[in-house]
Structure 1
Amino acid sequence: MKLSLEAEEVATFYGKMLDHEYTTKEAFQKNFFTDWKIQMTSEERKVIQHLHKCDFSEIHKYFVDKSEARKTLPKEEKEKLKEEASRLQEEFGFCTLDGHREKIGNFKIEPPGLFRGRGDHPKMGMLKKRIMPEDIIINCSKDSKIPEPPPGHRWKEVRCDNTVTWLASWTENVQNGIKYIMLNPSSKLKGEKDWQKYETARRLKNVVGQIRSQYRADWKSREMKMRQRAVALYFIDKLALRAGNEKEEGETADTVGCCSLRVEHIQLHPELDGQTYMVEFDFLGKDSIRYYNKVPVEKEVFKNLKLFMENKSPEDDLFDRLNTVKLNKHLQDLMDGLTAKVFRTYNASITLQDQLKELTNDEDSVAAKILSYNRANRAVALLCNHQRALPKTFEKSMQNLQAKIDAKEEQLKDAKKGLKKAKREHKDSQSSKSKKDMEKKKSLCDRLEDQLMKLKLQATDKEENKQIALGTSKLNYLDPRITVAWCKKFGVPIEKIYNKAQREKFAWAIDMTNEDFEF
């Protein structure tokens, strides 16, 4: 069936994703089909009435072939594409801020496509429309050369606001969220903000003992609202829960944070798994990621939770005398600049520092130290509930890795046989030639053993890491100075932990930190 241009384009968005897990989800299919029908002509709508009767395999094959063709491009063609990307970066990827040339982060606008969302987002599959110049607000100084809109178009607005750090903004149609073009994380301005964020978390270290004593005392308060606030703060501190913001009814998924927990989200177990006073949490957190956890709590917390749940229905608020506004005001009173996120940053960074001290062995090889670092980072990701779906290619890449391990073990076996033979020959002849041969074979065995160990550590790391996302905590919650100090102290090259973009983002920490830094 020949489709109209608008309907065809939207069909290609779906066809492109045919081998993705998203297209198997009912919500994704339903939302896509609804939005696709809007793009169709009335004739097309009469014919196309059921998504399951549509065959997108030809479209999918087209994109797979295109992708394969890109991979097999001749070297000169690849160089040309690289040069073109560099030219675009040079022309559009920089701005001047306070007299300094600064790199821009995302200078390309996301093309139209289907919204994915994270977790089980209720809007997955909806059409993300093309952003036009008429949707965009440009922000630059009065005396600068204002960028030209494409021919025949105009910008929505050009403003000169030096109180914000964005350079352009627009509103996307799926969640009506404002999107921005910002400076690159490596810019001076972003570096300063980062430094301030971690310094605020370090200030919390000086008062956290006092805060904990206070909320413990408040568990026995005569006022119910004080008790609720104290228990919520205990959860934010101990479990790194987000505060949780009230949302418009029906706006997005039924996601909650600490203050918006309902009775149905927790179960109390006086005894469970051999431990007492256990609380079982089960709710959708930020980005519709499920938070499921069973944790032992202190007796007073358990008693209070029981009290908060009395005579309430499952859909009633657990903390009915508390909201985020009240909680944030209280946090500000406890320490200037304190928020639930500061607690999260503080606990994440302290956890990393403590875990690194516990897990790192000075005598270990660099590969073993990196495994220790990733394990410490994993402890933080678990604390912050940074999950990810099992990567599609996981099984395949594990099989490939195992094949490499098997081949390396075979090589090592042969090399050991060769060494054994060389030792015998040297024992018989005692010549310098046989000695040299024996040393050469020994050196080969050592090298192969080292390579085998690296591969095995890699496999362990991959297996332990399969459903945990380490990137979020590494980029947003862990003071980079802890990592830099650890690398310097234990002789681990910084590029083994931070990739190029991360090294640019944390340049301020790399330059200023010595191995004695303590969070």
Structure 2
Amino acid sequence: MSVGIQWEETSKSSVKWRQLEHKGPYFTPAYEPLPDGVHFLYDGKPLKLSLAAEEVATFYGKMLHLECTSKEVFRRNFFSDWRKEMTPEERRLITHLDKCDFTEIHKHFLERAEARRTLPREQKQKLKEEAEKLQQEFGYCVLDGHREKIGNFKTEPPGLFRGRGDHPKMGMLKRRVMPEDVVINCSRDSKIPEPPAGHQWKEVRSDNTVMWLAAWMENIQNSFKYVILNPSSKPKGEMDWQKYEVARRLKGVVDKIRAQYQADWKSPEMKKRQLAVALYFIDKLALRTGNEKEEGETADTVGCCSLRVEHIRLHAPAGGQEHIVELDFLGKDSIRYKNHVTVEKLVFQNLQHFMEDKDPRDDLFDALTTSSLNKHLQDLMEGLTAKVFRTYNASVTLQEQLRVLTRAEDSVTCKVLAYNRANRAVAVLCNHQRAVPKTFEKSMQTLQKKIETKKAQVAEAQVELQKAETDLKMRGDSKPKSFLQKQRRLLKLEEQLARLCAKATDKEENKQVALGTAKLNYLDPRISIAWCKRFGVPVEKIYNKTQRERFAWAFNQAGEDFEF
């Protein structure tokens, strides 16, 4: 396999460098064996494992408290991969996962984690200094004479793959990344990074059309991992800006594109009609095109072009609505996409026609391929992809929702709640889901207790103020200092209660929605910054420090009147 070509195509950049020098990635330290007092048990008896088998056993033991270890597919995949790491003797002996007891291993790592949390301040400071030393050595590169921060200079440690959703590969062994797996990218005249002693790089190249410093293929999905610049670096900022500018260019032609694909719904040519309906789905539902699966991929994930008849259901009119389409399929990262939508009449009729005389496993768009759709998008506008549509529609949705939901007279707390609701509308559009956090119920109960306590304090303060007002009226006095203090205390408590209630509402509404993905990858930050300036909301309420550094380029470009 010529992986080099694939790497280049997946990470091409319009920002080209002249000089690039760095130290290469930092590799995960070698495995430390378990202490003598910590045992793995098989069929109730302690069993000393070989080093390779013991390391994989610790991966499972660390995760024993997680729900995924109770899933059959996780357990099956883990046991299969674990047995490959065993000696022949261990394989003959260990034949059933149900007879394996990882309890002592799990307890050991819990105690280690607790010990790290309770370290004396001096030891914590020492660890912090060691981490900073590592950051200074491996976490920066020199790019065209400038020292730039690297985003992820450490290779991912070995472990068990969890995936997202009900991924069919969950539980499989993520192997340790070795220098022999890694391609180094640096300028020809720079000092080539030294590989760890006794090792060598897979390849050293100089390609200034890509923005990665090192790359390798991981073994689970056969996908490529990269060491790249920190999002706050100048080149990454330029690439971010270019991405959003391409999406803004779409704004100028989107009406023409929509008019064209709507006209093509009536085309006598089947391919044109399928292309037009697929483009409608990409535009209105933010679907991905659906790239070909990597070799060895087992997850039945699909995108727009690879939708099958079984993924679509057409419903009869109901509740005053017509032309209802139900979509149900596994999308990227095995996240389920399930949606009921009302579509245009011609779209509905075309879908009926596309589904005629087909089996459930047949392709819905059988006259369409990902490459032909991507070529069509490029013909419509240079640089246009399904992702550009997602970025455009996400940003426009945020801007429109903020316009509807924000009231100038509201408190900052209410404005932030409005922002999160606008952001959630985008996350729903893009199908950015997450599982309800395990700690959700407990944290909500804690929050409700705080709200009840605060309500009691407000009620008490109201009684005190009313009593003080009655006393003043009876005496006919002017308002003394103590009365004004009671007024201020009540106002402060009411503000605190409002913040707690807003936090509870926000938490409940967003428990199954991942807001961060859209905010960091699909929403033009200039919209959010301009909104903050326009309505007097501190930008720290929307972006944390790391995010503000990433979007530093946007602050000078986003005046109060910025329009996407």
TM range (shorter): over 0.9
Give the distance between the partners of 1:216 and 1:497, measured in 2 at CA: 38
Deviation at 1:430, TM superposition (A): 5.2
Indicate how the Cα distance of structure 1 residues 423 and 321 shifts in structure 2: closer, same or farther if over 3 A, else same: same
Higher helix share: 1
- Aligned AA for 2:139? G
| Equivalent pair of 2:215/2:225 in contact (CA under 8 Å) | yes
Matching residue of 2:180? 134
Deviation at 1:511, TM superposition (A): 2.5
2:404 aligned to 345, 349, 358, which one? 358
Matched, 1:63 2:109: yes
1:497 aligned to 542, 555, 563, which one? 542
Give the distance between the partners of 2:205 and 2:262, measured in 1 at CA: 50
Matched, 1:337 2:383: yes
Deviations 1:99-152 (A, max 9, x none): 111110001111110011111211111111111222222222233233322222
Matched, 1:25 2:79: no
Deviations 1:274-321 (A, max 9, x none): 411100101111111100000111111111111111111111111111
1:453 aligned to 495, 498, 515, which one? 498
Give the distance between the partners of 2:469 and 2:99, measured in 1 at CA: 72
The one of the two structures with greater contact order (alpha-carbon pairs below 8 A, sep at least 6) is 2
Give the distance between the partners of 1:269 and 1:261, measured in 2 at CA: 18
| Equivalent pair of 2:221/2:296 in contact (CA under 8 Å) | no
Matched, 1:468 2:513: yes
Give the distance between the partners of 1:66 and 1:425, measured in 2 at CA: 62
Deviations 1:488-518 (A, max 9, x none): 1011111110111111111101232111000
| Equivalent pair of 1:227/1:304 in contact (CA under 8 Å) | yes
Q: Size of the alignment, in residue pairs?
A: 518
Matching residue of 2:128? 82
Deviation at 1:412, TM superposition (A): 1.4
1:290 aligned to 336, 340, 343, which one? 336
| Equivalent pair of 2:317/2:324 in contact (CA under 8 Å) | yes
Give the distance between the partners of 2:273 and 2:545, measured in 1 at CA: 47
Matched, 1:405 2:451: yes
Matched, 1:162 2:208: yes
TM-score (norm 1): 0.97
Matching residue of 2:6? none
| Equivalent pair of 2:213/2:226 in contact (CA under 8 Å) | yes
Which stretches in structure 1 are left out of the alignment for 5+ residues? none
| Equivalent pair of 2:222/2:295 in contact (CA under 8 Å) | no
TM-score (norm 2): 0.90
Deviation at 1:481, TM superposition (A): 0.6
| Equivalent pair of 2:221/2:294 in contact (CA under 8 Å) | no
| Equivalent pair of 1:426/1:438 in contact (CA under 8 Å) | no
Deviation at 1:431, TM superposition (A): 5.6
Deviations 1:222-254 (A, max 9, x none): 111111111111111111111111225752311
Give the distance between the partners of 2:95 and 2:114, measured in 1 at CA: 33
Deviation at 1:176, TM superposition (A): 1.9
Give the distance between the partners of 1:455 and 1:188, measured in 2 at CA: 38
Give the distance between the partners of 2:480 and 2:350, measured in 1 at CA: 76
Deviations 1:72-121 (A, max 9, x none): 12222222222222221122111111111111000111111001111121
Matching residue of 2:91? 45
- Give the aligned CA root-mean-square deviation in angstroms: 1.4
- Aligned AA for 2:529? V
Matched, 1:115 2:166: no
Give the distance between the partners of 2:374 and 2:205, measured in 1 at CA: 33
Matches within 5 A, 1:210-221: 210-221=256-267
Give the distance between the partners of 1:345 and 1:377, measured in 2 at CA: 13
Give the distance between the partners of 1:328 and 1:157, measured in 2 at CA: 32
2:251 aligned to 184, 205, 208, which one? 205
Which stretches in structure 2 are left out of the alignment for 5+ residues? 1-46
Query: Percent identity between the aligned chains?
Result: 71
Deviations 1:182-213 (A, max 9, x none): 00011111111111111111111111111111
Matching residue of 2:35? none
Matched, 1:278 2:324: yes
SS at match of 1:272: coil
- With 335-344 and 245-254 compared, the bigger mean Cα shift is at 245-254
Give the distance between the partners of 1:173 and 1:453, measured in 2 at CA: 50
- With 324-333 and 249-258 compared, the bigger mean Cα shift is at 249-258
